[in-house]
Protein backbone atom coordinates (compact mmCIF):
# COMPACT_ATOMS: atom_id res chain seq x y z
CA UNK A 1 0.00 0.00 0.00
CA UNK A 2 1.43 3.38 -1.03
CA UNK A 3 2.02 6.16 1.46
CA UNK A 4 -0.30 9.16 1.30
CA UNK A 5 1.13 12.07 -0.71
CA UNK A 6 1.71 14.24 2.37
CA UNK A 7 3.76 11.50 4.02
CA UNK A 8 5.84 10.99 0.86
CA UNK A 9 6.54 14.73 0.65
CA UNK A 10 7.49 14.86 4.33
CA UNK A 11 9.86 11.90 3.88
CA UNK A 12 11.58 13.59 0.92
CA UNK A 13 11.86 16.86 2.84
CA UNK A 14 13.38 15.12 5.86
CA UNK A 15 15.88 13.26 3.68
CA UNK A 16 16.82 16.51 1.94
CA UNK A 17 17.39 18.30 5.24
CA UNK A 18 19.55 15.41 6.47
CA UNK A 19 21.65 15.47 3.28
CA UNK A 20 22.10 19.24 3.52
CA UNK A 21 23.14 18.96 7.17
CA UNK A 22 25.61 16.18 6.38
CA UNK A 23 27.14 18.22 3.56
CA UNK A 24 27.39 21.31 5.77
CA UNK A 25 29.09 19.32 8.53
CA UNK A 26 31.48 17.64 6.07
CA UNK A 27 32.61 21.03 4.74
CA UNK A 28 32.88 22.55 8.22
CA UNK A 29 34.88 19.65 9.64
CA UNK A 30 37.01 19.49 6.49
CA UNK A 31 38.00 23.11 7.09
CA UNK A 32 38.78 22.40 10.73
CA UNK A 33 36.07 24.73 12.03
CA UNK A 34 34.10 24.13 15.19
CA UNK A 35 30.36 24.64 15.34
CA UNK A 36 31.03 27.58 17.63
CA UNK A 37 33.33 29.35 15.17
CA UNK A 38 31.02 28.78 12.20
CA UNK A 39 27.95 29.88 14.15
CA UNK A 40 29.74 33.06 15.23
CA UNK A 41 31.02 33.80 11.71
CA UNK A 42 27.59 33.28 10.16
CA UNK A 43 25.60 35.11 12.86
CA UNK A 44 23.49 32.18 14.06
CA UNK A 45 23.25 30.36 17.39
CA UNK A 46 25.35 27.25 17.95
CA UNK A 47 22.22 25.30 18.87
CA UNK A 48 20.58 26.30 15.57
CA UNK A 49 23.68 25.24 13.60
CA UNK A 50 23.66 21.90 15.41
CA UNK A 51 20.01 21.39 14.51
CA UNK A 52 20.71 22.23 10.86
CA UNK A 53 23.59 19.74 10.75
CA UNK A 54 21.36 17.09 12.33
CA UNK A 55 18.66 17.70 9.73
CA UNK A 56 16.06 18.80 12.23
CA UNK A 57 15.81 22.44 11.08
CA UNK A 58 15.02 23.95 7.70
CA UNK A 59 17.34 26.95 7.28
CA UNK A 60 16.20 29.96 5.31
CA UNK A 61 17.91 31.03 2.12
CA UNK A 62 19.54 33.91 4.02
CA UNK A 63 21.02 31.49 6.56
CA UNK A 64 22.32 29.24 3.77
CA UNK A 65 23.99 32.25 2.13
CA UNK A 66 25.51 33.35 5.47
CA UNK A 67 26.86 29.84 6.08
CA UNK A 68 28.35 29.66 2.58
CA UNK A 69 30.05 33.04 3.05
CA UNK A 70 31.40 32.05 6.46
CA UNK A 71 32.78 28.82 4.96
CA UNK A 72 34.10 30.66 1.90
CA UNK A 73 32.28 28.29 -0.47
CA UNK A 74 29.56 28.83 -3.04
CA UNK A 75 25.97 28.12 -2.13
CA UNK A 76 26.09 25.48 -4.90
CA UNK A 77 28.94 23.72 -3.09
CA UNK A 78 27.17 24.02 0.23
CA UNK A 79 23.90 22.66 -1.12
CA UNK A 80 25.63 19.80 -2.93
CA UNK A 81 23.46 17.16 -4.58
CA UNK A 82 20.14 17.25 -2.76
CA UNK A 83 18.20 15.14 -5.25
CA UNK A 84 16.33 12.34 -3.50
Question: In the chain, what are the domain boundaries?
Answer: 34-84
Q: pLDDT value at position 42?
A: 98
Count other C-beta atoms under 10 Å from residue 38's C-beta.
22
Residue-wise pLDDT tens digits, 4-48: 888 888 888 899 999 999 999 999 999 999 999 999 999 999 999
The average pLDDT across 51-77 equals 97
| Contact present, 31 and 41 (Cβ < 8 Å) | no
The three-point CA angle 53-71-52 to 5° equals: 15
Residue-wise pLDDT tens digits, 36-48: 999 999 999 999 9
**How much is the pTM?**
0.88
What number does CATH give the domain 34-84? 1.10.260.40
Is the pLDDT at 78 greater than 80, yes or no?
yes
Amino acid sequence: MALPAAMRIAAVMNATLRRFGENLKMIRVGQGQSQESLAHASGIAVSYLSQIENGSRNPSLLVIVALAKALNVSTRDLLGDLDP
